[in-house]
Amino acid sequence: MAAMFVRLLLVLLVAMFALSGRVVADEPLAPAEKEAVERVIHDYLLEHPEVVYQALEKLQQRQQEEAAERRRLALAELAEEIRRDTRTLVAGNPQASVTIVEFFDYRCPYCKAMAPRLAALLDSDTDVKIVLKEYPILGPDSVYAARAALAAAEQGKYLELHDRLMNHKGQLGRDAVLAAASEIGLDTDRLERDMEAPGVEQILRSNYDIAGRLAIDGTPAFVIGDEIVGGAIELEELQAKVKAARGS
Q: Measuring CA to CA, which residue among 125, 105, 77 is closest to residue 241?
A: 125
In this prediction, residue 225 carries a pLDDT of 84
Q: How confident is the model at residue 194 (pLDDT cuts 50, 70, 90)?
A: very high
pLDDT at position 21: 46
pLDDT at site 150: 97
For residues 21-32, average pLDDT: 60
- How confident is the model at residue 83, as a pLDDT? 64
d(CA 148, CA 142): 10
159-169 residue pLDDT tens: 999 999 999 99
Give yes or no for residue 111 having a pLDDT over 80. yes
Query: How far from the centroid of its chain's Cα atoms is residue 130's Cα?
Result: 17
Q: Quickly state the pLDDT bin for 27 (edges 50, 70, 90).
A: low
Residue 43's pLDDT band (cuts 50, 70, 90): confident
> Residue 214 in contact with residue 185, Cβ under 8 Å?
no
CB 79, CB 193: distance < 8 Å:
no
Higher pLDDT, 159 or 42: 159
Share of the chain above pLDDT 90, in %: 56
Residue 15 pLDDT: 52
pLDDT band at 87 (very low <50, low <70, confident <90, very high): low
- Predicted local distance difference test score (pLDDT) of residue 57: 76
For position 20, what pLDDT does the model report? 47
Q: Which amino acid is at 202?
A: Q
pTM of the model: 0.72
Q: Which of 12-21, 55-64, 203-212 has the highest mean pLDDT?
A: 203-212
Query: Which pLDDT value is given to residue 67?
Result: 64
Across the range 34-50, mean pLDDT stands at 76
* Segment among 12-21, 112-121, 184-193, 212-221 with least mean pLDDT: 12-21
